[in-house]
C-alpha cells in the first residue's frame, strides 16, 4: 500500500484471544456478537498486528512489535490468551527481504505485552535484550512512566521484560505529545486506552493514513460508543475518536487497524448517520 511517497506493509505476529465483553465495554453482547465470533470461554480472536513503514528517506520504521517468542515457554500464558504464532513478525519481515537488523526505528503505540512484547527477545543467558539492535524505540514519556509505575488495574499488561532493557541500553527516544519524526511521519498522542497511548499519522502528496493502535482496534470498534473496557480513560477515547473522525472523513484518510483479523485497513464512512468502516 502506498501513501504518497511512503510504502506501508501491514504485518502480523500471529493471533490471540481476549475476553469479548472486555473488548466491547458497555456495548451488549447481543450487538457486538454480530461482528465477532466467540469461543466457549467468550473470547474473540484478534490479530497481533504491526505496521512496517518504508519512508522516502529509505528508513524502515516498525510500528508495534507483536508478542515475540518469549512467552512460548509459559503454558499458563499461552492457555489464557490462546496464542497462535504459525507465522511470526520475523517471518513477515523475511518475506519482504528484511531482518530485525534492518529496522531503523520502532514506534510503540503503548507498552502492553501484545504491542511491545516483540521489542525484546531472550539472549543466550536468558536475559532480555533489544530485538531490533540498530533501532531507536519511540515511546511517549507518559507511557514510559506509567509502564514503570504500574497499578493494580494495568500491572498484568505491563511486563518489564518487554521494555526495561530499552532504558538500560539507552535506545529509547521519549517524546511528549504530537511529534514529527521525519517529514510526513508523526506520532500523535491519543490518550484513552492508556494516558500515554499514541497513534501514527502518515501524510504525503495529499494522502494520509492513521495507525490507530488500541484507540480503534478493529473495524467493529469504529462506531463511537464501541470502546474497550481495557481503556483506562474511556471518555478520552471517545473525545479523540470524534476529533479524529472529523479529519479522517474530510481528508479521506486510510484507517489502519491493529487487531482486526480480516480487514486491516479501511476508509471512514457514514451509515444511517453513524460512523462505519468501509473497505478501501
Separation CA 11–CA 48 (nearest Å): 9
Instruction: Measure CA 79 to chain center.
Output: 22
Separation CA 52–CA 62 (nearest Å): 5
Count of CB atoms within 10 A of residue 198's CB? 30
Between the two ends of the chain, the Cα-to-Cα distance in Å is: 11
Q: What is the pLDDT of residue 80?
A: 96
Reported as type and span, the H/E element at residue 149 is none
What share of the chain has pLDDT > 90, as a percent? 96
Return per-residue pLDDT of the chain as tens, 280 residues. 999 999 999 999 999 999 999 999 999 999 999 888 899 999 999 999 999 999 999 999 999 999 999 998 899 999 999 999 999 999 999 999 999 999 999 999 999 999 999 999 999 999 999 999 999 999 999 999 999 999 999 999 999 999 999 999 999 999 999 999 999 999 999 999 999 999 999 999 999 999 999 999 999 999 999 999 999 999 999 999 999 999 999 999 999 999 999 999 999 999 888 999 987 6
Contact indicator for 170, 134 with CB cutoff of 8 Å? no
**Three cell numbers, residue 225:** 460508543
Domain 2-279 has CATH 2.60.40.10: no
**Three cell numbers, residue 192:** 484513552
Give 5-60 pLDDT, tens digit per residue: 999 999 999 999 999 999 999 999 999 998 888 999 999 999 999 999 999 999 99
Bridge partners (DSSP) of residue 255 are: 210, 266
pTM, two decimals, is: 0.96
Boundaries of every domain in the chain? 2-279
User: In this structure, is the dihedral angle defined by the CA atoms of residues 36, 193, 1 and 106, taken in order, positive or negative?
Assistant: negative
Q: What is the pLDDT of residue 209?
A: 98
Q: What is the pLDDT of residue 35?
A: 84
Give 48-84 pLDDT, tens digit per residue: 999 999 999 999 999 999 999 999 889 999 999 999 9
Strand-pair category, 43-54 with 6-19:
antiparallel
Which residue's entry shows cell 490479530? 47
Nearest to 83 by CA among 35, 121, 48: 48
Order the strands of the 179-182 sheet from edge to edge: 179-182, 185-189, 198-204, 207-211, 254-256, 265-271, 274-279
Contact indicator for 229, 219 with CB cutoff of 8 Å? no
Amino acid at each position: 500500500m502506498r501513501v504518497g511517497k511512503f510504502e506501508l506493509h501491514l504485518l502480523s505476529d500471529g493471533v490471540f484471544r481476549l475476553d469479548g465483553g472486555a473488548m466491547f465495554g458497555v456495548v451488549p453482547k447481543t450487538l457486538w456478537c454480530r461482528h465477532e465470533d466467540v469461543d466457549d470461554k467468550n473470547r474473540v480472536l484478534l490479530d497481533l498486528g504491526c505496521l512496517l513503514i518504508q519512508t522516502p528517506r529509505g528508513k524502515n520504521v516498525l510500528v508495534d512489535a507483536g508478542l515475540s517468542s518469549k512467552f512460548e515457554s509459559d503454558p499458563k500464558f499461552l492457555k489464557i490468551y490462546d496464542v497462535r504464532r504459525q507465522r511470526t513478525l520475523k517471518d513477515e519481515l523475511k518475506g519482504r527481504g528484511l531482518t530485525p537488523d534492518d529496522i531503523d526505528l520502532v514506534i510503540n503505540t503503548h507498552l502492553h505485552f501484545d504491542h511491545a512484547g516483540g521489542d525484546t527477545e531472550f539472549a543466550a543467558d536468558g536475559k532480555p535484550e533489544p530485538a531490533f539492535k540498530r533501532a531507536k524505540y519511540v515511546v511517549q514519556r507518559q507511557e514510559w512512566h506509567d509502564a514503570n509505575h504500574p497499578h493494580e488495574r494495568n500491572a498484568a499488561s505491563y511486563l518489564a521484560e518487554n521494555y526495561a532493557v530499552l532504558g538500560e541500553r539507552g535506545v529509547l527516544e521519549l517524546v511528549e505529545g504530537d511529534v514529527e519524526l521525519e517529514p510526513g511521519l508523526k506520532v500523535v498522542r491519543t490518550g484513552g486506552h492508556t494516558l500515554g497511548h499514541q497513534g501514527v499519522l502518515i501524510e504525503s502528496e495529499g494522502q494520509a493514513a492513521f495507525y490507530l493502535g488500541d484507540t480503534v482496534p478493529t473495524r467493529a470498534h469504529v462506531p463511537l460508543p464501541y470502546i474497550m473496557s481495557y481503556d483506562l480513560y474511556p471518555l478520552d477515547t471517545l473525545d479523540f475518536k470524534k476529533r479524529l473522525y472529523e479529519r479522517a472523513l474530510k481528508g479521506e484518510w486510510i484507517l489502519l487497524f491493529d487487531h482486526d483479523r480480516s480487514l486491516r485497513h479501511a476508509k471512514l464512512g457514514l451509515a444511517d448517520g453513524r460512523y462505519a468502516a468501509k473497505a478501501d
